[in-house]
């Protein structure tokens, strides 16, 4: 008799544990967890990015040989949408390990960004010398911050 009761307890426990796994999932919008909060809206829906390459020569480390470097000097940004003043456009360059190795930031003036205008973002922060060399860059990320991050 006791093995039968033990089997019944195990069966009830298995059914109870399985119910949580069989329940339908639900979506959670984390931006709405705070009081009086709403979803943030992106200032643009599409963008095109290109690079301006700078070629220069320098002596190789620990040598007097002349070496040619091709580095990404600027990111070229273009979007068909306008967005307001005091926005920021950030261009991040990453290597094959997805580590950010170079970055440029353009703070927009009171005029903002006028759609269909090509804007250049100078790459002015690098992790190491020549980190923005063309052969070292694997991916680019563009971050566009509007003037007011509310809907």
Instruction: Map tokens 């979803």 to a residue.
Output: 39
Indicate the range of 24-28, 60-64, 124-128 predicted with least confidence: 24-28
Work out the mean pLDDT of the chain and round it to a whole number. Answer: 80
Percentage with pLDDT > 90 across the chain:
32
**101 in Cβ contact with 127 (< 8 Å):** yes
Percentage with pLDDT > 70 across the chain:
74
Band (pLDDT 50/70/90 cuts) for residue 101 is: very high
Higher per-residue pLDDT: 40 or 81: 81
Q: What are the backbone dihedrals phi and psi of residue 112, each rounded to the nearest 5 degrees, phi first?
A: 75, -160
Beta-carbon-side half-sphere exposure of residue 136 (alpha carbons within 13 Å): 18
Reading the block at residue 53, the tokens are 């390459």
Q: How many angstroms separate the CA atoms of 142 and 105, rounded?
A: 10
**Pairing of the two strands 88-94 and 125-126:** unpaired
Q: How many angstroms separate the CA atoms of 150 and 37, rounded?
A: 9
């Amino acid at each position: 008799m006791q093995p039968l009761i033990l089997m019944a307890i195990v069966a009830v426990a298995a059914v109870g544990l399985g119910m949580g796994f069989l329940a339908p999932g639900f979506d959670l919008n984390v931006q709405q967890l705070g009081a009086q909060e709403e979803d943030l809206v992106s200032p643009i829906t599409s963008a095109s990015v290109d690079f301006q390459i700078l070629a220069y020569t320098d002596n190789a480390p620990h040598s007097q040989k002349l070496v040619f470097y091709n580095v990404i000097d600027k990111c070229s940004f273009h979007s068909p949408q306008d967005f307001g003043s005091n926005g920021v456009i950030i261009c991040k360059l990453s290597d094959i390990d997805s580590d950010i190795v170079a970055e440029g930031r353009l703070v927009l003036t009171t005029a903002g960004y006028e759609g269909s205008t090509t804007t250049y973002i100078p790459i002015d922060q690098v992790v190491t010398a020549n980190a923005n060399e063309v052969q070292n860059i694997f991916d680019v990320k563009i971050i566009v911050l509007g003037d007011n991050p509310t809907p």
